[in-house]
Amino acid sequence: MDNNTLHADVVVIGFGKGGKIAAATLGRLGRRVVLIERSDQMYGGTCPNVGCVPTKALVHHSGNRRPDDSPQEWFEHAVGQVQALTSLFRAGNYDALNGADTITVITGAAAFVDSHTVAVGKGADRITVTAETILINTGSAPVIAGIPGLADSSRLVTNVDLIKNTTLPGRLAVIGGGYLGIEFASIYHRFGSRVTVFETSARILGREDDDVAAAAEQILTDEGVDIVPGSTVLEVRDGANETTVVYEKNGRQHTLVVDAVLAATGRAPVTDGLDLEKAGIRTTPRGAIEVDEYLRTSQPHVFALGDVNGGPQFTYISLDDSRIVLDQLTGEGKRTTTDRVAVPATLFMTPPLATIGLTEKQARAAGHRITLARQNVADIVAMPRAYIVEETRGLMKFVIDADTDQILGAALLSVDAQELINTVALAMRHGITASELRDSIYTHPSSTEAFNDVIGAVIHTDDPLDV
């Protein structure tokens, strides 16, 4: 075997959350692991480099800006702090794996040669790696909508570009009113940008119930974010010093002049350049790698973890994917994606919106008889923490099965919602009833004790005997 050929027990393509956890675990068990990452700026994956960590750090810094602080200076300082943090995490991720005796990290673009072989690089620098098992963890990338002029605009930015730019855009257009668009709209408005959000649907956050979405929209508009629902962006035209967004609303054309345009219309699995066809690995019509409930691809020894397999695009799902794959490789092989229930999600606007399970609309559509419990945060007597930290905006809403008292879903738009939702998730997974969650003992003053009041604040029941 020549110096440019390696053999490993396991090859991991992509340094994302699931891949690195699997690589580290298998390495500790004595497996020979080669982890391949095409960019030296992505050790650790999306979350610590261009996703969760930098964006949530920017949420923190944007909230600390005082009225007299220069928006540009404060933003530049914040981006510098965030870049230092991501550099620290990136180096730590690399050292933790490459420093292990059983793990080798190779930086370069990987492509399949056959179902057991991948190649990295070209020419004299080409390295060929063979393995019995291969894990694909290449993540996802922003989708640029096919709007005339958008892809070619010099002022187009993705979420990745935006968080690396030290110049605060004075005027920012956000195309897309989903989680990503709203999160960035909130962040950059609080830094001092004039933000306009374009959403094709009649309202933002289309997956949420009307009352929850309306409460979130009211918070944003009260702060000064311009939201244009029911609008279609028709064209993006660059000028010498600014860009014009042409859009239609109510049958009429309008224009908006901005300094940057954020495309927030979704993310797609990254499979380009992998040459999956050479390995006989199938993809879905939407471009994700096709997997079964054990995350096996059409080649049983090749697994796909994280965003690339088309599942929910969350770091914690990628982590759980690693548990499923590791159970296949080192355990009993019983864990599957069907085991996952009550998976929460959080939109980090200010205050955050955290959700789980079924919305009211979904619960009714599924045929459940339901009880609804809802309160505005400002009215929750048992939540003095909201007043202590001066954040009383938002609401809490629970959807409860009227027959079993099980929690079917919840939406928490409040301070600490990103933490509270994990308690609700645990209750749902283990069959804790809404009444038990309501009557539990919580520390004081805390946000969790709001459950004592909110779950008792019934606003609707499908059982006429309970009215």
Pair 203, 213: CB distance under 8 Å: yes
Which residue in the list 7, 254, 430, 444 is annotated as catalytic? Answer: 444
Six token digits for residue 99: 């420093």
d(CA 254, CA 230): 13
Judged by DSSP in three states, 391 sits in coil
Are 273 and 109 within 8 A, CB to CB? yes
Q: How many CA atoms lie within 13 A of 408 on its CB side?
A: 23
User: Furthest-apart CA pair in the chain: how many Å?
Assistant: 79
Residue 152: CB atoms within 10 A of its CB come to: 10
Element (H, E) at 236: strand 231-238
Cα separation of 179 and 224, whole Å? 18
Question: Of the candidates 348, 337, 331, which has an alpha carbon nearest to the alpha carbon of residue 412?
Answer: 348
Amino acid making up residue 428: M
Element (H, E) at 7: strand 5-13
Alpha-helical runs (H) found in 99-205:
159-164, 179-191
Helix residue ranges, H only, 102-178: 159-164
Q: d(Cα 260, Cα 243) in Å, to the nearest integer? A: 7
Active site residue 301: no
Whose tokens are 């960590």? That residue is 53
Nearest-angstrom CA–CA distance, 168 and 156: 14
Tokens (6 digits) for 238: 């660059």
3-class DSSP state for residue 136? strand
Pairing verdict, β 156-157 and 140-142:
unpaired
* Catalytic residue numbers, as ranges: 444
